[in-house]
Amino acid sequence: MNFELIKESGIERLPMWEMYGGPLWANTRWIVYGLAALVVAVFIYGIWQRVKAYRMGCKSEGALAPLGARINELVRYAFAQLKVLREQYPGIFHLFLFWGFVVLFIGTAITVLDEDIWRLLTGHKFIVNSVYVFVSFMLDLFGVLAVIGLGMAIFRRYVLKPKGLDNQREDATLLVWIFVILVTGYLTEAARISVVAQVKGPQSISYEAAGFLGYILYPAFKGEIWHKLLWSFHVLISLAFVASIPYTKGLHIFSTMASIFTHSLKPKGKIIEPIPDMMARMEAGEEVELGYKRIEQFTWREILQLDACTRCGRCQDQCPAFNTGKHLSPKEFIQATKQYWLTKWAAQRDANVELSAPPAEGAAAAPAADKNLLLKSEVAFVGDETAKGFVDSAVLWDCTNCMACMNACPVMIEHVPLITAMRRELAMEFDDTESACKSFFKNMDTNANPWGWNPGDRAKWAVEMGLPTVLDNPDYEYLLFIGCMGAFDPKAIKANKAFVKIMQAAGVNFAVLGEMEMCCGDSIRRLGNEASFQALVGMFKQTVQDCGLDPTFAGKKLVTTCPHGYNCLKHEYPDFGFKWQVVHHTELMAQILKSGKLKLKGGNGHTAVLHDSCFLSRYNDVADEPRACLAAAGLKVVETERNRDRTFCCGGGGGRVWLEEHLDEAQGIFRINNVRSDEIIKTNADFIVTACPLCGMMFDEAFKRPTMEKAMEGKKVVDVAELLADALVEEKTN
């Protein structure tokens, strides 16, 4: 031991190679740096192998730009952990762990900088005196936070055991490894302080109290042997951990940040991308890839997202399908797809190794056919019983596209686009759809509406009301897009008529398309039939053009009462040349109210509960406007437990409204609309309010159950527009 050097040292931390003599300890600096170089090489190799695995996917346009916006996302969701903190308990412990390790890493880095670069250049260190005291305190503080966070994580995972978590060996291994690194770090520091106190005397090391945990523990250690053993073990296990990161769950430290950095920055409502020029290419005889059935069809960004999934279960906790006993778990869907990718990557890697090796004598020339398939439907399609599929079609069809999974995911994994891409294969190539879906497709292809009813009746009620068409009133300000539900469903017709009454009372200059209007195609697209959707859009454009109108609707405004049509027309139609500005009827009504153009009766003493439509509140952040309309109508708004962007789906999105939903309550399988209606009825509101015709239809069915009869006495299911229209002061006529 270098007694003189330790005794003469100031308020600073001496490195091991200065504290101890002898050939071994005097050269520990070079031994550690040699091991560190090896660790860095192993780490870089592992990362490069992972990057090669991501590159099995195709190009992802715009995944790295714009840089400023992506850095902002990284700061908000990786460093500030805003999404993680939505759940208080796991959010707090994850924040403690994350920032504990960040600060400890920074502390290690500046120590190396101080001792081996700054001192070499200037002849002195900068982590001395008050700087040393501050650094010691901060490292101990954030280290303690990391230990607390780790304890909370262990308690939650192995004592509380929330159903969203599935404990695997890799989880326990990572937690134990982190625990050992943290604890040995503190014990090493305590043993070092003990050695310094032995040389300087306890009364001379009061400055070490800044590193409070080590200072508290140092009396427990006697002799330099403890410092040497603990330091050696801590360094070796820490270096081993760094080397292991690309090969273990520790990789999520980087993969999650990469997923956040590269996630789509497009509007949430535009998560479904079209197949470019699909109809023209098919008519030209070109073979068009319809959806996802091979890993090469994924983008590298989507593969990265698969790898970023930590199985936290937040998506599953929010999923209406999973929470009503269906096949779909968003977490397990991502994990199954990830397993397919890893299996394909292992096969490709092994094939590359075999190709690089000299062929064995008598080896077969042709490689064996790949029997790992993404979709289980393809296994039946190819007729090979030895083939293995990873994703069941029932899982894909259960999705309502509510986007609750994506809204909950702290690392920005995009489940819905992947499900839609796989549905395209089921619908257009493998014909793996239920009978109700086939009937829906047929009705849409023949009559451009879900029921297959006479399209000539689409404008019937609008004609009866004498509403002007775009041909009658070419200078309209707003184009009222009535939609399929608004054209044929009695309840939706009533809501549309109420909305028309409000526009007329406010003097809004509007028109309808009349017989030119067709289904927007939202449901058929989300059920995977992209060909029929694009054909429908093309037919609509041609019809409008044949009538002498601008098929792009440039400079025009469109309003609709259906959130599904609203989202589709606003975010997806522009891909096909449409340039209109789209608003939802609650947005326009809120705008009219602000202008003061409506005379309203005022308070009526009734209460109303609003069910937030997923396609309004989650996809388009429209939540305040319908509430403003209800308040203006004189109603007191009460809330369900799950509201706004955390609303619980009605079960009708993603085309599910046209399919059968299986019910077996004895087996824990419930209808989504029934579960949501049970939640809504607990508010005991006089009016159950929707701003979506599909929600209205789903709840109309749910609230008519015999078990709801008594609870629904004196209550009504209505659209926002109906209540606002009822609150209008009727103008007296002479």
Write the DSSP assignment of 123-183 as a string of letters: SS-SS-HHHHHHHHHHHHHHHHHHHHHHHHHHHIIIII--TT----HHHHHHHHHHHHHHH
What's the rounded mean pLDDT across residues 381-388? 87
Tokens of 309: 């999934």
pLDDT at 367 over 60: no
| Helix axis angle, 585-595 to 624-632, nearest 10° | 50
Mean of all residue pLDDT scores within the chain:
95
What's the rounded mean pLDDT across residues 253-273? 97
Q: How much of the chain, in percent, has pLDDT values that exceed 90?
A: 91
How many DSSP H helices and E strands does the chain contain? 33, 10
The pLDDT confidence band at residue 356, using thresholds 50, 70 and 90, is low
Report the DSSP beta bridge partners of residue 372. 388
pLDDT value of residue 2: 82
pLDDT value of residue 3: 86
* Rounded CA separation 151/135 (Å): 24
pLDDT digits 0-9 by tens, 66-82: 999 999 999 999 999 99
Write the DSSP assignment of 252-315 as a string of letters: HHHHHHHHHHHS--S-GGG-PPP-TTHHHHHHTT-----S-SSGGGSBHHHHHHHHH-----HH
pLDDT at 177 over 50: yes
For residue 386, CA distances in Å to 319, 380, 382 come to 33, 11, 11
Q: Which is higher by pLDDT, 383 or 276?
A: 276
pLDDT digits 0-9 by tens, 675-711: 999 999 999 999 999 999 999 999 999 999 999 999 9
pLDDT value of residue 598: 96
The pLDDT confidence band at residue 355, using thresholds 50, 70 and 90, is low
Q: Is 668 left (phi over 0), alpha (psi -120 to 50) or beta?
A: left
* Rounded CA separation 325/328 (Å): 8
pLDDT at 461 over 50: yes
Q: Is 529 left (phi over 0), alpha (psi -120 to 50) or beta?
A: beta
pLDDT digits 0-9 by tens, 279-291: 999 999 999 999 9
Q: What share of the chain is helix, strand, coil (3-state, %, to 5)?
A: 60, 5, 35
pLDDT at 232 over 60: yes
Is the distance from CB of 6 to CB of 20 less than 8 angstroms?
A: no
pLDDT value of residue 603: 80
Q: Roughly how many angstroms between the first and final C-alpha of the chain, as a whole number?
A: 109
Name, in order, each residue with C-beta under 8 angstroms of 60's C-beta and a sequence gap of 6 or more: 262, 299, 300, 301, 302
pLDDT digits 0-9 by tens, 306-341: 999 999 999 999 999 999 999 999 999 999 999 999
Q: Of 413, 245, 246, which is closest to residue 337 (Cα–Cα)?
A: 413
pLDDT value of residue 726: 96
In the chain, the domains with their CATH numbers are 3-56+86-247 (1.20.950.20), 272-349+370-428 (1.10.1060), 437-594 (no CATH), 596-726 (3.40.50)
What's the rounded mean pLDDT across residues 24-44? 95
pLDDT value of residue 370: 76
* Rounded CA separation 414/404 (Å): 11
pLDDT at 540 over 90: yes
Q: Of 200, 198, 205, 197, which is closest to residue 136 (Cα–Cα)?
A: 205
3-state per-residue secondary structure call for 567-627:
HHHHHHHHHHCCCCEEEEHHHHHHHHHHHCCCCECCCCCCEEEECCCHHHHHHHCCCHHHH
Name, in order, each residue with C-beta under 8 angstroms of 726's C-beta and a sequence gap of 6 or more: 498, 633
* Rounded CA separation 496/512 (Å): 12
Name, in order, each residue with C-beta under 8 angstroms of 9's C-beta and a sequence gap of 6 or more: 196
pLDDT at 365 over 80: no
Is the distance from CB of 305 to CB of 259 less than 8 angstroms?
A: yes
* Rounded CA separation 63/694 (Å): 34
Is the distance from CB of 540 to CB of 448 less than 8 angstroms?
A: no
Is the distance from CB of 528 to CB of 426 less than 8 angstroms?
A: yes
* Rounded CA separation 161/147 (Å): 20
pLDDT value of residue 357: 60
Helix (H, G, I), strand (E, B) or coil at 391: strand
- Residue burial 166-194, b: 16+ Cβ < 10 Å; e: rest: eeeeebeebbebbbebbebbbbbbbbbbb
What's the rounded mean pLDDT across residues 239-263? 98
Is the distance from CB of 401 to CB of 417 less than 8 angstroms?
A: no
Candidate from 140-154, 371-385, 628-642 with smallest mean pLDDT:
371-385
- Residue that the structure tokens 């778990």 belong to: 329
Tokens of 108: 């290690």
The pLDDT confidence band at residue 1, using thresholds 50, 70 and 90, is confident
For residue 560, CA distances in Å to 238, 371, 566, 617 come to 59, 48, 6, 16
pLDDT value of residue 258: 98
Tokens of 76: 């908000």
Radius of gyration of the chain (CA): 32
Is the distance from CB of 47 to CB of 246 less than 8 angstroms?
A: yes
Instruction: Give me the phi and psi of 664, to 5 degrees please.
Output: -155, 80
**What's the pTM?**
0.94
Name, in order, each residue with C-beta under 8 angstroms of 631's C-beta and a sequence gap of 6 or more: 637
For residue 348, CA distances in Å to 308, 390, 482 come to 21, 18, 52
The pLDDT confidence band at residue 384, using thresholds 50, 70 and 90, is confident
Q: Of 518, 569, 576, 516, which is closest to residue 546 (Cα–Cα)?
A: 516
Q: How much of the chain, in percent, has pLDDT values that exceed 70?
A: 97
The pLDDT confidence band at residue 120, using thresholds 50, 70 and 90, is confident
pLDDT at 150 over 50: yes
The pLDDT confidence band at residue 524, using thresholds 50, 70 and 90, is very high
